[in-house]
Amino acid sequence: MVKPPVPGPARRASDRGRYGRLSRDRVLAAALELVDRDGLSALSMRRLGAELGVEAMALYRYAASKDALLDGLVEALYLELEERLTAETDAAAEAPSWRGELHRIARATYDVCLAHPRAVPLLTTRMLAVPLAQRPLAVLKDHERVLALLGRAGLDEAGTAAVFRAFTAWLLGYVSVELRPMVDNPDEQDPAFRLGLHRMPPQELPGLREAAPALTEPGGPEGLAAGLDALLDRFGEIAGE
């Protein structure tokens, strides 16, 4: 009579893929590359596992759920921001003013977002879903950095909160507008058909049809800086300028 096998520990999916043993950094880097290439809708544990050459179950050691993986992508973006800011600081001859530092943070954030446009929606959607204390440490350190600068400006608690909200809203709002798709048919040579103006009723949307060609032109970092200056000028009296 054949004896039944003795129960043992549950089989664990191997986390050694085609690029060697996994790590959280490697998983997040691969996830960001996948989103950069194919968009957020393409991201799944199964697809990411295939990219790394491991079973999907192996990834749950590094991201406990799909939401955790999305939060990890936000973390990856802010870590890249931190790397950019640190490199610039090391190369700088002197420390900028608090206002100049806010401009530097805004520009570095803009550059990170333009490098990973398909991941940018997560900067809004995950922040709407995740309470402050549960956000990735890299995100919280960015908040801390901005708040410290506003403290250097001499703002009181209410003023700091007001400028922090305004700065964050302008920065993420500007990037979101900058990255919105505007071209209806990129293969079309005629500007009107390229923008899909024939889809817009002229009687109901005359202003939008007229402004559409100008709206397709990006504002660039110059527009970001101009808007930030206008915002900071608005709060100049609060900061004692």
Which of 38, 64, 90 represents a domain boundary (last residue)? Answer: 64
Cα–Cα separations (whole angstroms), residue 165 to 121, 140, 155, 223, 232: 18, 14, 14, 19, 12
Distance of CA 173 to the CA centre of its chain: 12
Is residue 241 a contact partner of residue 156, using CB atoms and an 8 Å limit? no
Q: Is residue 3 part of a domain?
A: no
Instruction: Please give the pLDDT value at position 54.
Output: 93
Q: Are residues 38 and 87 in the same domain?
A: no
Q: Is residue 240 part of a domain?
A: no
Count Cβ atoms below 10 Å from residue 208 Cβ, excluding itself. 12
Instruction: Please give the pLDDT value at position 175.
Output: 97
Q: Are residues 95 and 117 in the same domain?
A: yes
Instruction: Please give the pLDDT value at position 235.
Output: 83
Which of 47, 64, 81 represents a domain boundary (last residue)? Answer: 64
Q: Are residues 45 and 75 in the same domain?
A: no
Closest Cα to residue 70, out of 4, 120, 15?
120
* Domain at 24, CATH number: 1.10.10
The gap between the terminal CA atoms of the chain, to the nearest Å, is 91
Q: Is residue 89 part of a domain?
A: yes
Q: Are residues 130 and 42 in the same domain?
A: no
Block mean pLDDT (10 aa), the chain, length 241: 46 53 92 97 95 93 94 97 90 79 97 97 95 96 96 91 96 96 93 94 95 94 97 73 54
Q: Are residues 105 and 190 in the same domain?
A: yes
Which of 64, 80, 103 represents a domain boundary (last residue)? Answer: 64
How many domains in the chain?
2
Cα–Cα separations (whole angstroms), residue 69 to 15, 61, 75, 102, 220: 16, 11, 10, 29, 30
Q: Is residue 129 part of a domain?
A: yes
Q: Is residue 230 part of a domain?
A: yes
Q: Are residues 43 and 112 in the same domain?
A: no
Q: Which two tokens stand for residue 181?
A: 């798709």
Q: Are residues 88 and 183 in the same domain?
A: yes
**DSSP secondary structure string, 4-26?**
PPPP-PPPPPP-EETTEE--HHH
Q: Are residues 58 and 47 in the same domain?
A: yes
Q: Is residue 141 part of a domain?
A: yes
* Domain at 153, CATH number: 1.10.357.10
Q: Which residue has the tokens 């110059």?
A: 222
Q: Are residues 92 and 34 in the same domain?
A: no
Residue 55: which domain range?
Answer: 14-64
Q: Which residues contact 196 (CB under 8 A, 6 or more apart)?
A: 184, 185
Q: What is the pTM of this model?
A: 0.86
Instruction: Please give the pLDDT value at position 13.
Output: 53
Q: Is residue 28 part of a domain?
A: yes
Instruction: Please give the pLDDT value at position 51.
Output: 93
Q: Is residue 162 part of a domain?
A: yes
Q: Are residues 78 and 190 in the same domain?
A: yes
Q: Are residues 42 and 122 in the same domain?
A: no
Q: Are residues 39 and 84 in the same domain?
A: no
